Structure 1
Amino acid sequence: MVEAAALLTFTSGATAAAGSLVAWLAYQGYRRNDSPAMRYLAVGVACIAVAPFPITYGLGPLLALSDAATLLGVLLANIAGLLAVLYSLEGT
């Protein structure tokens, strides 16, 4: 049977990989059309889907962060991502 921690790590990595692909496609749309909205969308997707993985599995252990500090970092990345996506939809 697969351990929960291993499954969590795998699904977090898969989410980061899929988010990287979506962010890259949005960035390509920005470069192709010179669209600031697509740039903000790319940043937002990267913050929401990609940033939590290195924060949780990279910075957390590297800097010996507590679980609360790691969670705070992930939540701040999510907030920044949602604001970027909101700006991409409303601000341009």
Structure 2
Amino acid sequence: MVAVDPAAVLFATALATAVVGLVVAGYAYRGYRRNDSLAMFYLAIGIGLIAAGPVVVSYGLAPLLSLSDAASLLGVLWVTIAGLVAILYSLEGT
């Protein structure tokens, strides 16, 4: 039986989430470019932040800046809140 490293599975899942989220954000950005809709622009930013932001913070910034677990989690929460605010603005700002 082959043992699978849980950290590798976690990274692969996080990477897949980021990639699919960026594809969805790309479609929203194409909608912004096609219709010149600022709401779609903020939606694209929000989806991108929610999908890719935590991966960038967890696997990019945290090791690069030697962040503690608490600081890394705080960064993930901040980027998620920023994404939700962008989505809220895209829905309420129109």
Q: TM-score range by the shorter chain?
A: over 0.9
What is the distance in 1 between the residues matched to 2:54 and 2:81? 11
Partner of residue 13, structure 2:
11
Partner of residue 22, structure 2:
20
Amino acid of the residue matched to residue 7 of structure 1? V
- Unmatched 5+ stretches in structure 1: none
- Unmatched 5+ stretches in structure 2: none
Partner of residue 76, structure 1:
78
What is the distance in 1 between the residues matched to 2:9 and 2:55? 14
What is the distance in 1 between the residues matched to 2:46 and 2:56? 16
Partner of residue 52, structure 2:
50
Larger radius of gyration: 2
Aligned residue pair count: 92
Q: Deviations over 1:43-70 (max 9, x none)?
A: 0001100111111001100000001101
RMSD (Å), alpha carbons: 0.7
What is the distance in 1 between the residues matched to 2:15 and 2:83? 18
Secondary structure of the corresponding residue to residue 31 of structure 1 = helix
Q: Which runs of 4+ in 1 moved over 3 A?
A: none
Identity %: 62
1:2 deviates by 1.5
Normalising by structure 1, what TM-score?
0.97
Amino acid of the residue matched to residue 30 of structure 1? Y
| Partner of residue 37 from structure 2, selected from 35, 38, 44 | 35
Amino acid of the residue matched to residue 79 of structure 2? A
Normalising by structure 2, what TM-score?
0.95
